[in-house]
Structure 1
Amino acid sequence: MNTVKSSNLGYPRIGEKREWKQALEQFWAGKLEKEEFLKQIEEIRLQHLQKQHEQGIDLIPVGDFSLYDHVLDTAVMFGLVPKRFKYSGGKVSLETYFNIARGTTGAVASEMTKWFNTNYHYIVPELGEAVPALVENRPLQFYKEAKQRLNIAGKPVILGPVTFVKLSKGYQKSEFNTVVNQFVPLYADILRELQQEGVEWVQIDEPILATAISKEEIALFNEVYQALHEAAPNIKVILQTYFESIEHYEEVISLPVQGIGLDFVHDAGQSLAAVKQYGFPQDKVLAAGVIDGRNIWRANLDDKFSVLAEITEVVSKDRLIVQPSSSLLHVPVTVKNEEALDEILTGALAFADEKLHEIVVLTKGLQEGKEAIQTEITASVEAIKALNQSSVRNNTEVQEAIRGLHTYKADRQAPFSVRQGLQEEAFELPLLPTTTIGSFPQTQEVRKQRLKWRKGELTNAEYETYIKAEIKKWIDIQEELGLDVFVHGEFERTDMVEYFGEKLAGFQFTKFAWVQSYGSRCVKPPLIYGDVSYQEPMTVAETVYAQSLTDKPVKGMLTGPITILNWSFVRDDIPRYDVANQIALALRKEVEALEENGIRMIQVDEPAIREGLPLKQEKKQSYLSAAVYAFKLATASVQNDTQIHTHMCYSDFKNIIDAIKALDADVISIETSKSHGELIHAFEENTYDKGIGLGVYDIHSPRVPKLEELTRNIDRALQVLDPKLFWINPDCGLKTRGIDETVAALKVMVEAAEQTREKLLVKKG
């Protein structure tokens, strides 16, 4: 390597217009034969490699592409298939692969959880049921494909053994080293075969190094990578970290690898400070992640070049790689298709393709001198300046409100013990009240009518009539099912964040800026690009209409400030918590509007609290405090007999239970069905004294649960939770499910609740 190189860590899988998603869903629906499906997927994969090659990226990742999830890919590469899927060895079939992720009528899907502090979900590997074996060398397969089809000598990407085992389940903590060492010979085989094929660079991702790991685990890293180096001494391994700066910097840079990849975007310059303070080994390459891989804003190339210049004071250019801070999996594909956006905003955006261009420009600047890229530098600085000076980022009313936050009350009028009695009297609910989380199935017809309305083919009045008809249909279904607390179904909403962003000032929406959330589920996060403010009521009309159709309480449904924050691309020119509080103040006005219009149960969902949790232990409390404050700022102004609900996804509950209590919600529901036992165990160790619903069945799988499953889940929960505080609900919204399966599953849920009530009354009697 004679000079600085450019590199990428991973490219978005979904395609510019979600071609990947469309192929997957057509295949699952039986509308695409397997051979044609695989052909389409191969074309998409090769197009992505070709685009990176044409951009001028030197080290192009191969093997980062996935049909569902890269962690699942790693598991099936080692034959780790849970017994319930009746795997008989050898290469894991495509059908079994998807069954693990999605479940079958006879086998529950593997657990899905958040990928570190992102909104990407991975499938949790289940260890202990099968002995790992290398049944398919995926990195080799994709390397050969790129070489043979495009003449690209790619950089194979592999999830590292320590992180892989850390993210898995099915073993005791005391067995961790032993389990990791089971995989080392398999990784060694992968590297040996890559070496035989003539591979030069391999990227092994170990993001666990950015978390609080122990000295003992660092010692394990040393043993593992020494063994891998001995197995394939001619392979150059880049040990790649991302999302935050690494713990144990001096030990990590001493590991027996040829390159270290560090995040120079997050953690406020700690990586740069560590390089300058402790130096960097003369025999290693530094892969410097200076372009933000997780946000969509154009880089100030002057600032980025300065960071690289400081790095080159320690690391010579021939030992430097310029790259993004993480895989570009977390950002949309390209800005070029966003033709409808304001020119000032477009000029300040950079999606995956634009970020790769920034990397190439910076690499050129290091190779040829800053003057060679001065035009690009000036353009980036001017574009960012134009957005910062625009009126949308200078709303004086909003900015004054943030400066005067101390004038807003962020605590309920009375403690829960008082509110509980008033709410029992107001609502007169039975023991173990049943409800749902908020959304009901968004059928193809619902989406079709919304699209017609957006295109102007339906008038506002016609669309409103259609939405009211859907609301009435589902109010009637809820009456027939015998649910105790209703919802209006959210048929007017595309997405739980997008809907609110469209109605609040300071947000902008795109046409094609999709990112993968899990499986084929793609989301189009709004861009919070300006000061956020309330415009007009957002949910009142639909909720009040639903309430007019029934004597049962109907919950108002809002998305909470932290979830809106964490599921958006957030402006980076002001503190993130200021943005959260701007959103909270806007939502506070909507909560008050619902209450004024007779809605006395209001659910403010916070499923994404887990996503924003910092990886560093010392930063977690300040984040949780800010999250609690924003939630309370949005909800605390209601009367004592108005019941505040919230919903969140399972997120190491025992580690954040104090923060969950501090939210002071009257009722919390938690997505738990795939981790039910683990969560119940958390309640055995911690007391929770407010209303709570643990999701009693999994909505992510297209199956109707059995009655005995649900009664077992309920009974287990009631061993540690007060029946007077326990609610029964699915574990998440039902938007993605079919109508028939939704009705059938809820019927079973109501029956399970009734059976349990009867048992409790008999026991009490």
Structure 2
Amino acid sequence: MREKFHASLEGNIRTLAFGLPRLGPNREYKRLLEAYWQGSLPREEFLQALEDLEGLRMATYREHVDLYPAGELSLYDPMLDLAVALGVYPVEPFDLEGYYALARGKGALPLRKWFGTNYHYLVPRLPEKPRYTPRRGFFPYPVGQKTPGSAEGLPTLLGPYTLLRLAQNPPERVEDHLEALVEAYAELLEPFAGTLFLLQEPALGLDGVERDLPHLLKAYAALAKRVPLVLLSYYLPPASEVVRSLANLPLRGLGVFPVGEALPKLPPGMALVLGVVEGQGVWRTHLLALGGILPLLEGQEVWLAPKAPLFHLPWRVDEPLPKALEGRLAFAVERLQELSLLKELLTDGQGPAGHLEAATSPSRAYQAARAWYTPPPAWELHPSPPPPPRPPLEVRRQA
């Protein structure tokens, strides 16, 4: 029975990661940007250094996971990249002065917290009339002079609904802008027909999505006709009605993190993007305790993924650590390792302990997963009760 189950997983499980920190292993991005702004780093050297950093990011993805985005390394802010790519602001491709004028100085766009996290984004202002003029030079490679044919990875953008909901002037009727935005996105996607495209829509977890749902479904269906569309929503759980409706679209993949309710069974040809490791928390994943995902895997194509973009984490854990933290922390690179190890664990014929029969001769993946996780010390699991509250000041004075 166990062998039959795992045989059904062969070829049906892949790994997908996104949001690897653009800061780099040693904060290279910050130093490059500051040097360019100060005038000590020439423009061409700046762009080449960013290309080198992007190459490192791509190599890191490639070492550990099957699927990953291309063009994530923004010149400054992904929301600004999107606004410029759609022609919201009249900045020509590689006009760095025009681009950075929107990010700093007197004419800078306002900053706002990104979905309640410690990250911020530049808040664009939508045009009064829904007219968009796409500029392909800012998508999908805002850095450097690459052509679509030279790329690896999945082209990716923030979705139109996220742009509309997070703008300075969100429209009362999203349908007034969605039709024009779909045409603009379609023009940007034209060189990528047949290429998996990653559309990130964290705004699908906001309140009020049900009101806009019919127009969103129409927009996503139109985009799915242009490219094999993988739709991701994260940070906030969308309403169950939203999830059920998205599952009926002609998508290539669907990921909703966190899952508010049980996901519906997806139709053949649509992969379930399953968030299994943290994208914001720093503790290692107890991979052998993930047997609860097994019912979701049988008879379905599944892509194992983080629950949020990895840019919330540092690049990787630096050794040595204090003894209390040894074997317990996982940053961005460690999350990639966890995805790779979990895939191997699920397809090696044994699976997580307690949910498939225990192995008499544990596989390499099983042993590695067991060694990966260090349980927290007893004092964390059973902390001492808090001290009783102090009496009011008046009572203490009378004592």
Task: Tell me the TM-score normalised to structure 2 length.
Answer: 0.85
Larger relative contact order, structure 1 or 2 (CA cutoff 8 Å, min sep 6): 2
Shift in alpha-carbon separation, 1:172–1:211, aligned structure 2, 3 A: closer
Question: What does residue 338 of structure 2 align with?
Answer: 358
Q: Secondary structure of 2:103's partner?
A: helix
Deviations 1:467-505 (A, max 9, x none): xxxxxxxxxxxxxxxxxxxxxxxxxxxxxxxxxxxxxxx
Structure 1: how far apart are the matches of 2:185 and 2:332? 30
Structure 2: how far apart are the matches of 1:111 and 1:212? 23
Q: How does 1:248-647 map to 2 (within 5 A)?
A: 248=241, 249-263=243-257, 266=258, 270-271=259-260, 273-275=261-263, 278-304=264-290, 306-313=291-298, 315-316=299-300, 319-335=301-317, 337-339=318-320, 341-369=321-349, 370=351, 371-372=362-363, 373-381=365-373, 383=374, 385=375, 387-389=376-378, 396=384, 399-401=385-387, 404=388
Question: How far off is 1:7 after superposition?
Answer: 0.8
Structure 2 runs not aligned, ≥5 long: 1-9, 352-361
Structure with the larger helix share: 1
Structure 2: how far apart are the matches of 1:29 and 1:69? 19
Shift in alpha-carbon separation, 1:116–1:261, aligned structure 2, 3 A: same
Structure 1: how far apart are the matches of 2:244 and 2:38? 52
Question: How far off is 1:323 after superposition?
Answer: 0.8
Question: How far off is 1:346 after superposition?
Answer: 2.9
Deviations 1:409-455 (A, max 9, x none): 6xx99xxxxxxxxxxxxxxxxxxxxxxxxxxxxxxxxxxxxxxxxxx
Question: How far off is 1:388 after superposition?
Answer: 2.7
1:218 aligns with 2:213: yes
Question: What does residue 158 of structure 1 align with?
Answer: 157
Shift in alpha-carbon separation, 1:129–1:172, aligned structure 2, 3 A: closer
Question: What does residue 3 of structure 2 align with?
Answer: none
1:14 aligns with 2:14: no
Question: How far off is 1:253 after superposition?
Answer: 1.4
Task: Tell me the TM-score normalised to structure 1 length.
Answer: 0.46
Number of corresponding residues:
370
Shift in alpha-carbon separation, 1:155–1:408, aligned structure 2, 3 A: farther
Question: How far off is 1:170 after superposition?
Answer: 3.0
Deviations 1:639-671 (A, max 9, x none): xxxxxxxxxxxxxxxxxxxxxxxxxxxxxxxxx
Question: How far off is 1:374 after superposition?
Answer: 1.2
Q: Is the 8 A contact 1:27 1:34 kept in 2?
A: yes
Shift in alpha-carbon separation, 1:209–1:327, aligned structure 2, 3 A: same
Q: Is the 8 A contact 1:140 1:194 kept in 2?
A: no
Question: How far off is 1:189 after superposition?
Answer: 1.3
Structure 1: how far apart are the matches of 2:79 and 2:212? 21
Q: Is the 8 A contact 1:62 1:142 kept in 2?
A: no
Question: How far off is 1:280 after superposition?
Answer: 2.8
Structure 2: how far apart are the matches of 1:92 and 1:140? 13
Question: What does residue 132 of structure 2 align with?
Answer: 132
Question: What does residue 205 of structure 1 align with?
Answer: 200
Structure 1 runs not aligned, ≥5 long: 82-86, 414-636, 638-765
CA RMSD of aligned residues (A): 2.7
Shift in alpha-carbon separation, 1:146–1:155, aligned structure 2, 3 A: farther
Q: Is the 8 A contact 2:21 2:332 kept in 1?
A: yes
Could you say which structure has the larger radius of gyration?
A: 1
State the AA in 2 paired with 1:238: V
Question: How far off is 1:139 after superposition?
Answer: 4.0
Q: Is the 8 A contact 1:7 1:323 kept in 2?
A: yes
Shift in alpha-carbon separation, 1:323–1:73, aligned structure 2, 3 A: same
Deviates more, 1:215-224 or 1:35-44: 215-224
User: Structure 1 vs Structure 2: percent identity of aligned residues?
Assistant: 28
Alignment match of 1:64 (pick from 56, 72, 77)? 72
Q: Is the 8 A contact 1:261 1:289 kept in 2?
A: yes
